[in-house]
Amino acid sequence: MAAAAGVAPGAVGSSSSGSGGGGGSSSSSSSSSSVSSAPPAAVEAVAAEWMLEFACSCLCRHFAEQSGAEFWRWRDVARALINGLSQIPPHQKKTVYLCQLLIRTAQGKSLGLHFENDQRFSPLESALSFWTLLEKEEIKLEKLHEDIRRLIQIQIVAVYMENRYFKEAAEVLERLFTDSESDKPLRVKLATIIKTKDPYVPLLQNFSYSLLISKIKSYIELFMKENETNFLIQEATKQVASKGLEATAWQNRPLEVNENDKSDLETKQRLIKEEQCITSQSSGDIKNPILRRHLGQKPKESRVLQSLNNMKNVEKNGVSLACSRKRQRWTCQEDLELKSGVREFGVGNWAKILAHGNFNNRTSVMLKDRWRTLSKIGQG
């Protein structure tokens, strides 16, 4: 991505001049003086633009890879940077619009979320407004623009249909096509579908949410190729190469969890931290209970540590650790989110369903167990 406002990286206040005669200052002191004389607000603005470009790059990558936790983390970073802008610099409009589009599309099926002041607007309706702004910034991708626009329009209606909000689906259709002649064939088809009250008609299945995600990924690839000169990425790449950090990054990479795995990674990581904290505070020459066990020494177990071991035994039996917490009833809305997710991603893809759905403090194991229950009572 291009350096902000046409300023080359490292060139902020970089001009230097020597006063006549023979006693010029060194280049390093001249550079230091120039940098220190640069207005702090201007320096912060340039740095913030580089950071926003970097955040957008990370957001694009994690959206394309469907890595939920990392996507949400960079979403928060991008939001903070965007909210800090008093106005959007012209050369960063596409960056801001794309970030907003991805954030809203990722939550497109969560009708309980609102990004606009008008509570009637769903996340995908808000996404459509940013896609319209993106279209105005470029003209060479007309076919892809049209495909994505139609897919968003169709999915706006489809999400309401899937949740059986047929009245709202009819109302949103009026908002989408204010001009009676605008996209008339599509409008007529969608109006007919809404009257059938059937969310599984071929049109909605063929132009699915997953197809929309796929098309947006195609757009992301083109965007990333055009903006691959991001300053922070280039500098970080040099740093990694010069210090040989590839092996360290590989060793510290996040663990990949099979979507059908019964263990909850976040809970397990928290459990390990709690155990480390407890063992570090316990007395004895050997504080690690695993080492004590191997050496034949009986660990001094407090009630907390016993509880911890009990939780581990529960996990070994294939029951989610999260289930040891107080059970909370499933709401009708959560059931609808679960059913919608199964239709979209298929039975077994609980991690994807969890990432794209609007659930109240659930885990992928909870989703799996709930689906089994729904199937038993004939509602799956």
pLDDT digits (tens, 9 = 90+) for 22-34: 444 444 455 455 5
d(CA 164, CA 237): 49
CA distances from 35 to 12, 31, 42, 227 (A): 7, 6, 11, 27
Query: Average pLDDT, stretch 171-182?
Result: 81
Whether the Cβ atoms of residue 194 and residue 162 lie closer than 8 Å to each other: no
Residue 284's pLDDT band (boundaries 50, 70, 90)? very low
Query: Average pLDDT, stretch 42-69?
Result: 91
Nearest to 53 by CA among 118, 121, 3, 103: 3
pLDDT value for 46:
87
pLDDT value for 42:
86
Nearest to 131 by CA among 159, 105, 168: 105
pLDDT value for 357:
84
d(CA 366, CA 262): 10
pLDDT tens, position by position, 292-349: 443 344 444 444 444 444 444 434 444 433 344 456 888 888 888 889 888 888 888 8
pLDDT value for 314:
39
Residue of 160 and 141 predicted with greater confidence: 160
Burial of 179 (0-12, 13-18, 19+ CB in 10 A): exposed
Averaged pLDDT of the chain? 75
pLDDT exceeding 70 applies to what percent of the chain? 67
pLDDT value for 103:
96
Whether the Cβ atoms of residue 78 and residue 257 lie closer than 8 Å to each other: no
| pLDDT surpasses 50 at 282 | no
Query: Average pLDDT, stretch 71-93?
Result: 92
Which of 63-72, 96-105, 254-263 is the most confident on average? 96-105
State the first-to-last Cα distance of the chain, in angstroms, to the nearest integer. Answer: 46
